[in-house]
Amino acid sequence: MSRIEDRIKELATRFSQWLNTDKKTARQQRSERVTRLRGEAAERAHRAATRVQEFRESERGQRAAGKLSDLRGSDAAKKAEAAFNDLRASDAGKRAESALSDLRHREPVKKAEEGARKVFHDLFSGGPGGADGTGDRTAH
């Protein structure tokens, strides 16, 4: 019996080691995927910001900014703004605003907003996975 018990203990030990190794490998792979995705997201955000800046500085972007400014000052825009303000002041608008406020105070929504805030902060500040694309938390 002693030999069988030893074999069972050895098998249990090996199985336990295999499970722990598998968990560590999965955690490491997940961490590497997250780091890679953050780096890719930071690179894309940087490219997008560069393109936006180039567009703003271009002649076409300058014309678009002028037209947008003209549109904001137009009678149609002023009427739309007044209608929007009237809607917000109405009972239906107040109920909708209250419902949105209640929704934003729910825990899952708060967590999602905080997570999104952290990701954007990291992307634009060069923090973990930020603009440097390394994702190295020890460097910051």
CA distances from 135 to 31, 86, 138 (A): 10, 48, 9
Interval 18-43: pLDDT, tens: 777 777 787 888 888 888 998 999 89
Assigned domain for 95 exists? no
CA distance linking residue 86 with residue 109, whole number of Å? 28
- Tell whether 35 is covered by a domain: yes
Q: Is residue 81 part of a domain?
A: no
The answer to the question of residue 100 being in a domain is: no
* Cβ neighbours, 10 Å, residue 128: 22
Confidence category of residue 137, pLDDT binned at 50, 70, 90: very low
pLDDT band at residue 128 using 50, 70 and 90 as cut-offs:
low
End-to-end CA distance of the chain: 58
Q: Residue 57 is part of which domain span?
A: 2-72+106-139
For residue 97, being part of any structural domain is answered with no
87 is a domain residue: no
Does residue 49 fall inside a structural domain? yes
Give the residue carrying structure tokens 């999104």: 116
d(CA 78, CA 60): 26
The verdict on residue 22 lying in a domain is yes
Considering its fold, how many domains does the chain have in total? Answer: 1
